[in-house]
Amino acid sequence: VARMMKANLRESDALGRLGGDEFGLLMLNAGLDEGREKARRLAATLETEPFEWEGRATGLGGSFGVRAYAGQADPEIWLAEADAAMWVRKKGR
């Protein structure tokens, strides 16, 4: 999954697994619209790219929470707000 997602990132983006099925993506110098577009592309990649696990093909999906900040903010607040936005999307699927 991380390999599929990394193929859609810029050199300056940082992707990491937060735990379970959750990943965090930090995009420097990107606005809310660019973040939403990146989330849309990542979700489309997960849904359309073939994924095989233990010899069986399976479909994937993804829900993404996006937040944008200008200036300084507490990283714990970033993650909490993005996580809350992701859960809103996940409930709407």
Tens digit of each residue's pLDDT (9 = 90 or more) over 1-31: 778 888 889 999 888 777 777 777 888 888 8
Q: Which pTM value belongs to this model? A: 0.73
Whether 93 has a pLDDT exceeding 70, the answer reads no
pLDDT category of residue 33 using cuts at 50, 70 and 90:
very high
**Complete domains list, the chain, with CATH:** 2-92 (3.30.70.270)
Could you please report the per-residue DSSP string of the chain? -HHHHHTT--TT-EEEEEETTEEEEE-TT--HHHHHHHHHHHHHHHHHS-EEETTEEE-----------SS---HHHHHHHHHHHHHHHHHH-
Per-residue pLDDT reduced to its tens digit, 74-90:
878 888 888 887 788 77
Average pLDDT rounded to a whole number, residues 27-42: 88
